[in-house]
Amino acid sequence: MSTPAAPLPLAVLISGRGSNMLAIARACAEGRIGARIVSVISDRSDAAGIQAAASLGLVTQVLEARGLPRAEFETQLAAALEASGAQLVALAGFMRILSAAFVQGWAGRLLNIHPSLLPSYPGLQTHRRVLAAAEREHGASVHYVTEELDGGPLICQGRLRVAPEQSEAALSARVHRLEHRIYPMVIGLLAEGRIALAGSTVLLDGRPLAAPLQVTEEDTPPRQAADS
C-alpha cells in the first residue's frame, strides 16, 4: 500500500493584507493541495496578514526591513527560510525587490503573483493603468521569480473581461478573487511534482508548457466570505 506524499513545506512572504496567503492557507487546511505553510514572514510589523496568519495558528515572523541594508535583510530572510524548512517560497504581496543572488539561490522554488496579464503591466498600480488604457481584458499571473522584475517564466494566468465603467476597487476585487483561485492551484501542482522549471522553461508533466495555464472568471467558484 502506498502512503501519501508528505505535504510540501511552504513559506509565504507578505507585506500587507495577506488575502492570497489566507487563500493558500485555506487550501492547505482543507486538504485541497499537498502543501503545508511552515512560515508566514513579513517585512513589515504592521502587515495585517501577520495577525490573520497568527490567528490561524500559523508560525509567523516579522523581519523589519525598514532602515536595513538589503544584504542584511536578505541574510536574515535566508536564515529564517532555512530554519523553517521551506522547500518552496511564495511571494504574496511582498513589496521588496530581492537581489539576483537571493533569487538565484531559490531558482525554481520561488513564486510570485502579480495583478496583471504579464508581460503587460509589470510594476505597481496595475488596475488603475489598465482602466486608463481602456483595456478590455485584465487578470493575474503566477510566475517563477527571476532577476527581472515581474519577468520570470509564467505558469498560470487568471483572466477576466473588464466591465464598462468598472471602478478600480471593483476591478481589484475581481482580480483578487481570481488570484485566490490560481495561486493555490499552482502551488498544488508544484506539490504534486507536476510543474517544474527547466532553465527558463516551465514543464507540466515533464513537457514544456506552450502557454501559461488559463483560468477564467467563469471557472471561479462564488466568493467566500474570507476571500476578500
Residue 20 is placed in which grid cell? 492570497
In the residue annotation, 114 being an active-site residue is answered as yes
Consecutive H or E run containing 161: strand 154-161
- Quick one: which of 61, 63, 60, 59 has its CA closest to 43? 63
Does position 16 bind ligand GRF by CB under 6 A? yes
Between 61 and 192, CB nearer to ligand GRF: 61
Least distance in Å: CB of 94 to ligand GRF?
7
207-208: strand order across its sheet: 195-198, 201-204, 207-208
Residue 81 is placed in which grid cell? 527560510
Least distance in Å: CB of 175 to ligand GRF?
6
Among 18, 139, 158, 212, contact with ligand GRF (rule: CB under 6 A): 18
Q: How far is CA 155 from the centre of its chain?
A: 11
The contact mask relative to ligand GRF for 179-218 (x = CB under 6 A, - = no) is: x---------------------------------------
Residue 112 burial (CB count, 10 A): 23
Catalytic site positions: 114
Q: Provide the binding-site residues for ligand GRF, judged by CB under 6 A.
A: 14, 16-20, 49, 92-93, 113-115, 140, 176, 179
